[in-house]
Amino acid sequence: MNKLKKALVITSIASPNAVLKAHALGAKANDIDFIVIGDTKSPDKFELDGCRFLSIDDQEKLNFKLATLLPKRHYARKNLGYLLAKDHDVIIETDDDNFPYDTFWHERKREQSAEVFNESGWINIYGFFSKENIWPRGYPLHHLKNVVEHNSTVQNIICPIQQGLADENPDVDAVYRMTMKLPIKFDQHNSLALGKNSWSPFNSQNTTWFKEAFPLLYLPSYCSFRMTDIWRSFIAQRIAWTCNWPVMYHNSTVWQERNDHSLIKDFEDEIPGYVNNENICRKLEELELSSGEKNILPNLIRCYEMMTENNYIGKEEMKLVEAFCEDIDEVK
């Protein structure tokens, strides 16, 4: 069987730090193309063996419609990394403060064994991997008392979207960070997979995407920085149902030494999520979407039309979504 062609994508304004160096070494050793997307605050010179770095100037010269439309100083510039890697079989993404464990470099497989949940509503994924009272960023706070029984049946499934956890400083919201325990190392547990009408946010810090799911990588620009990957995850889950793809969550393969953040600023940026996340998912459930992989891009457009019509995301977003759909759909 042919080995899968893989790319690792990060966006960063840092000089080559210990995390980026670790990823460059691992990517080179494992024959993975490593792409780093810079921004206006990136260093003038970025030199790191085993890494392809693109400055703002480099990005604006790319032959993608999206390249000149993306706002600067925004995490969503990562979209250009996805487009650069679209001829690969697998895209792995993480952030510049997540150190890889050895397991991060293990071979990625779309067929996995997992406990599968369907028709289960909101599920606090972190609750299965820890005895602490912990929840993922983007999880509706009023559902924290939900009790979901373990599904002891492990099934073999095809899952083109796979979220890995992160130890030490996992992806939690500002409410958690200001009130609860850190650092945390997650327990080992069977992988979990959420199917139709089961919800949990997933992030962009340790996520594997197989080629058929690449169109669902799109990160919106005209929304809060703290919601861009969370709202992407809800849209990806909704469209995944139309393809009979469960989204899988698995044991930690990275640990985070978190970059400096203002927790009050994080809280402020997360308010749109605290207020709207459940409503967004309800409206996504209500959308009439077409089934099958051939309809992923029209479904993506429809989901973002709903998001902009309801003013969760600025109406300027639609021209970016349409440009991304054209770019991702073009044969490279």
| Domains of the chain, residue spans | 1-96, 110-332
Q: Is the pLDDT score of 182 beyond 70?
A: yes
For 155-179, the pLDDT digits (tens) are: 999 999 999 999 999 999 999 999 9
User: What per-residue confidence (pLDDT) applies to 153?
Assistant: 77
User: What per-residue confidence (pLDDT) applies to 96?
Assistant: 95
**CATH number, span 1-96:** 3.40.50
User: What per-residue confidence (pLDDT) applies to 151?
Assistant: 65
For 7-26, the pLDDT digits (tens) are: 999 999 999 999 999 999 99
> Whole-angstrom Cα distance, residue 174 to residue 264?
7
Q: How confident is the model at residue 327 (pLDDT cuts 50, 70, 90)?
A: very high
User: What per-residue confidence (pLDDT) applies to 155?
Assistant: 92
Torsion of Cα atoms, 104 then 5 then 97 then 143, to 10°: -70
Q: How confident is the model at residue 2 (pLDDT cuts 50, 70, 90)?
A: low
User: What per-residue confidence (pLDDT) applies to 259?
Assistant: 75
> How many angstroms separate the Cα of 106 from the Cα of each of 134, 208, 214, 295, 313?
27, 12, 20, 32, 37
Q: Is the pLDDT score of 132 beyond 90?
A: yes
For 230-239, the pLDDT digits (tens) are: 999 999 999 9
- Residue 150 tokens read as 């373990």
For 201-230, the pLDDT digits (tens) are: 999 999 999 999 999 999 999 999 999 999
Q: How confident is the model at residue 306 (pLDDT cuts 50, 70, 90)?
A: very high
> Whole-angstrom Cα distance, residue 277 to residue 11?
25
User: What per-residue confidence (pLDDT) applies to 261?
Assistant: 79
User: What per-residue confidence (pLDDT) applies to 331?
Assistant: 55
Q: Is the pLDDT score of 1 beyond 60?
A: no
User: What per-residue confidence (pLDDT) applies to 3?
Assistant: 85
For 257-305, the pLDDT digits (tens) are: 987 779 999 999 999 999 999 999 999 999 999 999 999 999 999 999 9
Instruction: Sort 270 into a burial class: Cβ within 10 Å, 0-12 / 13-18 / 19+.
Output: buried
> Whole-angstrom Cα distance, residue 306 to residue 282?
11
For 72-118, the pLDDT digits (tens) are: 999 999 999 999 999 999 999 999 999 999 999 999 999 999 999 99
Give the residue-averaged pLDDT of 47-73. 96
The chain-wide mean pLDDT, for the chain, equals 95
> Whole-angstrom Cα distance, residue 303 to residue 284?
7
Q: Which residues contact 53 (CB under 8 A, 6 or more apart)?
A: 36, 38, 46, 47
